[in-house]
Structure 1
């Protein structure tokens, strides 16, 4: 066996060991069912041989059948068949339960890991690949527990049947058992051939999932740029490669399945040929020939499960490698045990904060550097800066979607890293420009499945964001479905729906990252006014570029090249920083130029 094959087999057996440790009792029941099936099948062969030798042969010789003896052996055969059927039932039902419980367990672990890892990690890992890991890779990892109990039963069948064959007739038994080395060699070759094909198939499944995910996520871009044909071709090329890989796997399986079924049949023919000669020479009994032939023939179908087990071991090793790679990822956010004191707005303090996007080579591309500022509780601060200044990165840090690479951020003098897992989520909300809307009802999109809010609270939140009249006009009101990605709503309405999610939670810290960019300026002013009135005890941080929004804030944080250039009121920063003046007046200046030209 090659080093690669041995390594894959060893890793596959480690996966089996891990699964058995998770589900020892259920696996034990399934394995016991497999053993009963294997031993029962071999015992049926012995009973059949005894019926032939003790009932049928004397019946042919005397012309009479011993009824009571025949009934006894038939009852025994029925009993063996009943016990064997019970073993088959336990093997199949419980093995399936073990497999699905393990799949559920690791899908939950992966989901938890995805949630723990920061946004910076997700930005460097395609969503389609992560989805494939949680679905097809987890399935591939634990699929081994479907054929494994049967494989155990087949081993028991071979051992028990081999002993019975040798006891019945050493010559015929040895001849029948000579098939086993050939089967073992065939399985070895099979495992070597199938491992690489399965690895390629799993890789292509992940690639196809990634392409589909990207195309669906960017459907508007694809259509607006007219690159449907390119995306279709990209998907088709990978889909065809996956098809070819699947066909290669199934072709290999079918070829070896045929060979695995043919070998026992050849063994039966050899036993019948030699057994006939030995019976004629009175050195073997007819019942022994029947027993050995039956036992060999019974191997033709179940023995294929050995190849199935070996193939699934290789597949399990590949799947587990991908699952383990995610579970072993470091950088997950750690949490303390502290909570935020109830009541009152939250005071934000940043001390020497720096942040860089992780790069594939392990380095970081610095986005923020030495950001230090204090935003008193209950104030509204607006973050302003040119493209690439680090505004969105700073917004993400404030609600701890990721951690700074340097420095500290505190809320009410408590470092965000020291807060309990759910503490910050109960008190801080981030609404970004890229609004995500569920294909569900308005109510479900506002509550997001959390909390126990009555319809009155939902309506109040919608009224605050000036969406109440729109929802009231929809068929079904709060029960109206908004379609995939909110296709029944405009861009501004989707943003207001997202704002309602924050409003209903009454956060102490509200961070809006260009969350009103698609809303009409007049409506935006109404919403911001309503938010100020409703959330007097809430600290609000806005990332904005409109002059009206900026001027209405209590203070301005002007970022440039990842550093705080100015921090003060709009009037103060406007009077002292020329770069800030050019930035916030650029839109009005360009508008006047266009009007004069026209």
Structure 2
């Protein structure tokens, strides 16, 4: 997603940050119009009642405070009137605050949840080719920090809109009270505009870079966690720490620079209205002494100008979040708008009480159009039969398994199960009949039962049966809590062979009619592997098998062998036939004969 990490192209983009920020907010308003309206009405109520405070203060000055100094006494009725006015205004203003904050918070969290769901749904719909082009750390950042940044300004938006109303009413009241003092006080607005333009120009590129760096830091951390075993066994802790530290320091420096700009921007906005108040007081004192205005008008205008400072700060908070918001939204939106989704039909695979028939017809696939990985691949697997796929490294075996499980679609040709093209199936239909076990077994931080069932309603008797077929029932029964034993993150409490057998049991528990094993027993010793495959053939005779294998003992159990070479089928037949007539096949399978087995 190169557009996500690109820096702003120039001055025009920086000038468009404010407009882009308002467009992002428009998305949220259209999504949650009712909550936005209620929150804004609460903010407007707060704004009107805040300005009403100025009127109460001015009225009290002219009708209670000054007469009290002049006459030496305050009437009880007037005193209670002032107290009642202030209390009434305060209570109504509190109602407005609650409505504003509650609505703004709900709106922000709903938009974050909605956008995160949209991003993650898109992750599920996009094909594997798209995921292979985007680092995991970046995808995590898109779904979390970018979404959070995108909707940062939505919470202060109702407050900012309400304070605009407050500012309009306050300005009108200032003009009614005294035009000269109002004009003097309002000179702060051009200064605020200049300050905001300067802030946007300086902060926008830094915010863009900071969001990109957050994804890079997340990516490095994810790689280090995933490769913890490699890092520790090769003594690369220092290098990995240095790599992470360098990127984290870069993120820190960029964020600090942006923070310094924000630290100068916020107090500048806060100080400009205060300077205006001082000027208004100076002008007001002169006008009172010359009889041009009343003291109450000076108090009213000065207080209204302090009120105006709050809307300025509120708008500043909103505008200050725009650079990060725009960057976060663009990064999240790039995922939502990504193309290449996998299309589905409405067909299903017939529910038959026998193994499925798989047919691969004239298949072709390439990661790079100039270098096809698979070409003219055709073979079939009859119900209940076992076919072994054998080939050297990079011959296309794993890609073929990805195509047979429709993780990717072929460039040409077709794959059918019981006569139904995989591209015509409805979502989820393939998993009802076909299961795949990859070489790299992934286990969750859950119990043995949870890792086998993955939340499906599978009785314990069926779980144990699947474990027996996978030759895993013995070591599972020996665990302290049996099926309830927690396996730890990625199954770290088990050996590689044990993890593979749990992964195999997970597939078998669903009783697939076609089982595809992509070197799924590579970490198991040959004797155990032979028992597993014999169990699958004898105990599950109604299941068709496709086995990517390299061991002679495994290949010999297959009814037919498909020999892949440079992405094409070099030969097909039984293991014995290929050994007799294909020197390249014999050389390949004999090369593994004396390779020591991995830990079981």
Q: Same fold (TM over 0.5)?
A: yes
Partner SS, residue 550 of structure 2: coil
Q: Is the 8 A contact 2:48 2:165 kept in 1?
A: yes
Which residue number corresponds to residue 513 of structure 2?
508
Which residue number corresponds to residue 5 of structure 1?
14
Partner SS, residue 357 of structure 1: coil
Distance 2:291 2:589 in 1: 109
Which residue number corresponds to residue 55 of structure 2?
46
Partner SS, residue 588 of structure 1: coil
* Aligned-residue offset at 1:153: 1.8
Which residue number corresponds to residue 497 of structure 1?
502
Per-residue CA deviation, residues 126-161 of structure 1 (Å, 9 max, x unaligned), is: 001111111111111111201211111221111111
Q: 1:516 to 1:423 in 2, by over 3 A?
A: same
Partner SS, residue 440 of structure 1: coil
Which residue number corresponds to residue 398 of structure 1?
404
Which residue number corresponds to residue 354 of structure 1?
364
* Aligned-residue offset at 1:5: 2.4
* Aligned-residue offset at 1:305: 2.2
Which residue number corresponds to residue 367 of structure 1?
373
Instruction: State whether structure 2 residue 435 is matched by structure 1 residue 429.
Output: yes
Instruction: State whether structure 2 residue 446 is matched by structure 1 residue 415.
Output: no
Q: Is the 8 A contact 1:191 1:307 kept in 2?
A: no
After TM superposition, the structure 1 stretch with the greater mean CA deviation from structure 2, 68-77 or 523-532, is: 68-77
Partner SS, residue 16 of structure 2: helix
* Aligned-residue offset at 1:11: 2.1
* Aligned-residue offset at 1:262: 1.0
Partner SS, residue 388 of structure 2: strand
Per-residue CA deviation, residues 295-330 of structure 1 (Å, 9 max, x unaligned), is: 222344452221221122222211111112112222
Per-residue CA deviation, residues 262-312 of structure 1 (Å, 9 max, x unaligned), is: 111111111111111112222212221111111222344452221221122
Distance 2:583 2:17 in 1: 64
After TM superposition, the structure 1 stretch with the greater mean CA deviation from structure 2, 457-466 or 508-517, is: 457-466
Which residue number corresponds to residue 584 of structure 2?
579
Counterparts of 1:9-28 in structure 2, within 5 Å, are 9-28=18-37
Distance 1:89 1:371 in 2: 67
Which residue number corresponds to residue 461 of structure 1?
466
Q: Is the 8 A contact 2:386 2:544 kept in 1?
A: yes
Correspondent of 2:119 among 110, 121, 128? 110
Partner SS, residue 532 of structure 1: helix
Q: Is the 8 A contact 1:187 1:306 kept in 2?
A: no
Distance 2:595 2:43 in 1: 79
Distance 1:318 1:346 in 2: 49
Distance 1:45 1:476 in 2: 72
Correspondent of 1:484 among 465, 472, 489? 489
Per-residue CA deviation, residues 348-385 of structure 1 (Å, 9 max, x unaligned), is: 11122111125xxxx56421111111211221111000
Counterparts of 1:520-559 in structure 2, within 5 Å, are 520-559=525-564
Distance 1:290 1:476 in 2: 77
Counterparts of 1:26-175 in structure 2, within 5 Å, are 26-175=35-184
Which residue number corresponds to residue 446 of structure 2?
440
Instruction: State whether structure 2 residue 479 is matched by structure 1 residue 474.
Output: yes
Distance 2:432 2:149 in 1: 38
Counterparts of 1:325-340 in structure 2, within 5 Å, are 325-340=334-349
Q: Is the 8 A contact 1:51 1:70 kept in 2?
A: no
Which residue number corresponds to residue 376 of structure 1?
382
Distance 1:52 1:473 in 2: 87
Q: 1:394 to 1:342 in 2, by over 3 A?
A: same
Distance 2:57 2:513 in 1: 80
Q: 1:247 to 1:295 in 2, by over 3 A?
A: same
* Aligned-residue offset at 1:62: 0.9
TM-score of the pair, normalised by structure 2: 0.95
Distance 1:67 1:184 in 2: 47
Partner SS, residue 505 of structure 1: coil
Distance 1:386 1:286 in 2: 95
RMSD of Structure 2 on Structure 1 (CA): 1.6
After TM superposition, the structure 1 stretch with the greater mean CA deviation from structure 2, 531-540 or 125-134, is: 531-540
Q: 1:478 to 1:364 in 2, by over 3 A?
A: farther
* Aligned-residue offset at 1:239: 0.3
Per-residue CA deviation, residues 172-196 of structure 1 (Å, 9 max, x unaligned), is: 1222222222122212211222111
Partner SS, residue 339 of structure 2: coil
* Aligned-residue offset at 1:31: 1.8
Distance 1:30 1:262 in 2: 28
* Aligned-residue offset at 1:115: 1.4
* Aligned-residue offset at 1:341: 0.7
* Aligned-residue offset at 1:589: 6.0
Partner SS, residue 83 of structure 1: helix
Instruction: State whether structure 2 residue 190 is matched by structure 1 residue 181.
Output: yes
Distance 2:12 2:592 in 1: 66
Q: Is the 8 A contact 2:166 2:311 kept in 1?
A: no
Per-residue CA deviation, residues 460-509 of structure 1 (Å, 9 max, x unaligned), is: 22222122232222222222111121111000000011011101111111
Q: Is the 8 A contact 2:122 2:336 kept in 1?
A: yes
TM-score of the pair, normalised by structure 1: 0.95
Distance 1:325 1:71 in 2: 61
Q: Is the 8 A contact 1:437 1:485 kept in 2?
A: yes
* Aligned-residue offset at 1:70: 2.7
Distance 2:151 2:538 in 1: 55
Counterparts of 1:211-226 in structure 2, within 5 Å, are 211-226=220-235
Which residue number corresponds to residue 4 of structure 2?
none
Q: 1:350 to 1:590 in 2, by over 3 A?
A: closer
Counterparts of 1:186-225 in structure 2, within 5 Å, are 186-225=195-234
Q: Is the 8 A contact 1:195 1:311 kept in 2?
A: no
Which residue number corresponds to residue 595 of structure 1?
none
Distance 1:568 1:340 in 2: 28
* Aligned-residue offset at 1:416: 0.4
* Aligned-residue offset at 1:457: 2.2
* Aligned-residue offset at 1:418: 0.5
Q: Is the 8 A contact 2:438 2:518 kept in 1?
A: yes
Per-residue CA deviation, residues 428-469 of structure 1 (Å, 9 max, x unaligned), is: 1111111111112111111112x2122222222222212223
Q: 1:511 to 1:273 in 2, by over 3 A?
A: same
Q: Is the 8 A contact 2:357 2:417 kept in 1?
A: yes
* Aligned-residue offset at 1:402: 0.8
Which residue number corresponds to residue 345 of structure 1?
355
After TM superposition, the structure 1 stretch with the greater mean CA deviation from structure 2, 424-433 or 462-471, is: 462-471
* Aligned-residue offset at 1:72: 2.0
